Amino acid sequence: RAPGLAATLYGSMVAEDERPAGAWHAEWEPLRELLRLVAGIARNAAELVEGLRVNADAMRDHLALTHGLIVSERLAVELAPVLGRARAKELLTRAAERAVAERRPLVDVLDEEPELKELDLVELTDPTRYTGSAGALTDRALERT
């Protein structure tokens, strides 16, 4: 409903200079309805988040379910300048397949690769130390406000 109401208000703005002054109250109903919807949404959102609690142990357990595969994007980004993009992709694909097949952590499989001996694989495969593009996305969102 909100997009339709917003479209009505937006459409009314276009006609502002093309209608008589007495018609300005045409936006009242859609504006009132839109404000009512937004207030309800805000109330519901506040109610939803008020009971949220961070369970660090459960989060850690969930991150561990992938045995390190969750950080493959980070590894691809970090390894590409060192090995070249194609070689990094090939190595990561093979290592990920082995990690899954052998039910081993990705870091242990990667540790066996001679090409990676100089890298701090423990740090690179720690999901708690990687937020991906979250920082850039947050900055972009804040610039819009």
pLDDT in tens, the chain (145 residues): 999 999 988 877 765 566 666 666 778 899 999 999 999 999 999 999 998 999 999 999 998 899 999 999 999 999 999 999 999 999 999 999 999 999 999 999 999 999 999 999 999 999 888 888 888 999 999 998 7
Indicate the SS3 state at residue 107: helix
Residue 72 is assigned to a structural domain of this protein: yes
Total domains, the chain? 2
Asked if residue 16 and residue 71 are part of one domain, the reply reads no
Reported as a single tens digit per residue, the pLDDT across 95-124 is 999 999 999 999 999 999 999 999 999 999
The span from the CA of 95 to the CA of 115, in Å, is 13
What's the chain's average pLDDT? 90
Q: Domain range holding 101?
A: 59-132
Asked if residue 64 and residue 44 are part of one domain, the reply reads no
Residue 101 is assigned to a structural domain of this protein: yes
Q: pTM for the full model? A: 0.61
Domain at 88, CATH number: 1.10.40.30
Q: Is 119 left (phi over 0), alpha (psi -120 to 50) or beta?
A: beta
Residue 25 is assigned to a structural domain of this protein: yes
Asked if residue 63 and residue 30 are part of one domain, the reply reads no
Residue 97 is assigned to a structural domain of this protein: yes
